[in-house]
Amino acid sequence: MKKKAFVALVSAMICTVSVFGMTGCKGSNSNEVEFFSSKSENAQIMKKLVDQFNKEHAKEGVKVVLNTPADAGTVLKTRLTKNDIPDIIAYGGDQTYTELESAGVLKDLSQESYMNSVSDQYMQMVYDVQKDREKTAYAVPYATNASGVIYNVDKFKELGLKIPKTWDEFEEVIRRIEDAGGQPFEYAFKDDWTLLPPWNSMAPDLAPETFYDERLAGKTTFESTHKEIADKYLELLKHGQKDIMGTGYDDANKAFANGDAYMLINGNWAISEIKKNNPDIHLDMFALPASNDESKNYVTSGVDVLLCASAKTKHPKIVKEFLEFMMKPENNQKYIDDQFAFSPINGVEQKDETVASAQKDIEKGKVANFPDHYYPSGYDLASILSEYAMNYSTGMKDEENTKEFLKNLDTQYDAVNNK
């Protein structure tokens, strides 16, 4: 009999534990405002800003809590499936934002005081990724990034190299580095997203301006317009280290920080990672000159972080105050300085020398958005590029490889564009 009682007790315990376990997962504190941030790189500075805000608003009894999960895009989309939308969201200006915005869950921020101080160019980029390019501010750009060529200033000086302004000059730089026995680029293609920055830096310079809309409507193809980009992409692959497919992002940054290579094609977000490995390294960044027409060589710059808010939040007042706090120029400056990022707020400037050359172009407005922000969200460009690079490294003939790659770009595009 005792044994039976014991079994009953255990089952009862399991039952209660599982019930409490379930409620425990879900129960969010009603005095907390969730600030969902997609980037792990900026978690520290975001935490500082949040703490400062909480200190200043201690009286109100409501706390902003920062949440930066790994693989944030997936987490956010999964939460959208449950209609569980964070109060405040910091996200990139990409297709996930499009999906978020088109679900109709975001608050209209048009009337907020800080809207006047935001650069039109970056505001336009937010509109561009909204559904039907709707011109309503459901989000405000907070920080912008730039993709281009990060170079080792000291090593460039050693060879007396200057920043190339055209494709021919760029090739000349590569040639001179190789003549001196150096390695021009360090690639990190084991992490397939690193294949995107070179593409993103070249495509806006060389693709026809109306390409995105026409491709979406099926009026043009990659095959007929992107041959030059594909050729130049392949050309750049030929000047990396030996194991371009087997090196990961962290290892490549380490190798570059140690002076193994002269250049790294990536974005300003990589700078802090490189500096972690070698704090004394002198870096600068320039726009990848894909065209021989200097006026077309844009800095690829997009909205790296935008802020938006749930329309259904329980604490609209705190959310409003928090966004106003974040958008103050002095707070934005703190973020920009910490992240080597650029600011969409007029008057806030990135003064760090590591991105000086890119900042100059951005100030002049010589900026193009990331092309992959305009591709359909199912389009896995990174893995198509990865196949291209893989075929190159296994020795496929260039001509055949490029042909297959261009065709692949179109078939994959059509596969995800069948709405």
Contacts with another protein by CB under 8 A lie at 4, 7-8, 11, 14-15, 18, 73-74, 77-78, 80-81, 83, 95, 99, 102-104, 189-192, 242-248, 251, 377-380, 383, 386-387, 389-391, 393-394, 411-412, 415-416, 418
Output 99 or 172, the one with its CB closest to another protein. Answer: 99
Shortest distance, position 394 Cβ to another protein, whole Å: 5
Shortest distance, position 330 Cβ to another protein, whole Å: 36
State the amino acid at position 230 in one-letter form: A
Shortest distance, position 242 Cβ to another protein, whole Å: 7
Shortest distance, position 106 Cβ to another protein, whole Å: 13
Shortest distance, position 12 Cβ to another protein, whole Å: 8
Output 83 or 111, the one with its CB closest to another protein. Answer: 83
Shortest distance, position 110 Cβ to another protein, whole Å: 23
Output 28 or 78, the one with its CB closest to another protein. Answer: 78
Please provide residue 27's backbone torsions phi and psi, each rounded to the nearest 5 degrees. -60, 100
Shortest distance, position 413 Cβ to another protein, whole Å: 13
The three-state (H, E, C) secondary structure of the chain, written as one string: CHHHHHHHHHHHHHHHHHHHHHHHHHCCCCCEEEEEECCCCCHHHHHHHHHHHHHHCHHHCCEEEEECCCCHHHHHHHHHHCCCCCCEEEECCCHHHHHHHHCCCECCCCCCHHHHHECHHHHHHHHHCCHHHCCCCCCEEEEEEEEEEEEEHHHHHHCCCCCCCCHHHHHHHHHHHHHCCCCCECCCCCCHHHHHHHHHHHHHHHCCCCHHHHHHCCCCCHHHHCHHHHHHHHHHHCCCCCCCCCCCHHHHHHHHHCCCCCEEEEECHHHHHHHHHCCCCCEEEECCCCCCCHHHCCEEEEEEEEEEEECCCCCHHHHHHHHHHHHCHHHHHHHHHHHCCECCECCCCCCCHHHHHHHHHHHHCCEECCHHHCCCCCCCHHHHHHHHHHHHHCCCCHHHHHHHHHHHHHHHHHHHCCC
Shortest distance, position 4 Cβ to another protein, whole Å: 6
Shortest distance, position 296 Cβ to another protein, whole Å: 30
What sign does the CA torsion over 145, 150, 154, 157 have?
A: negative
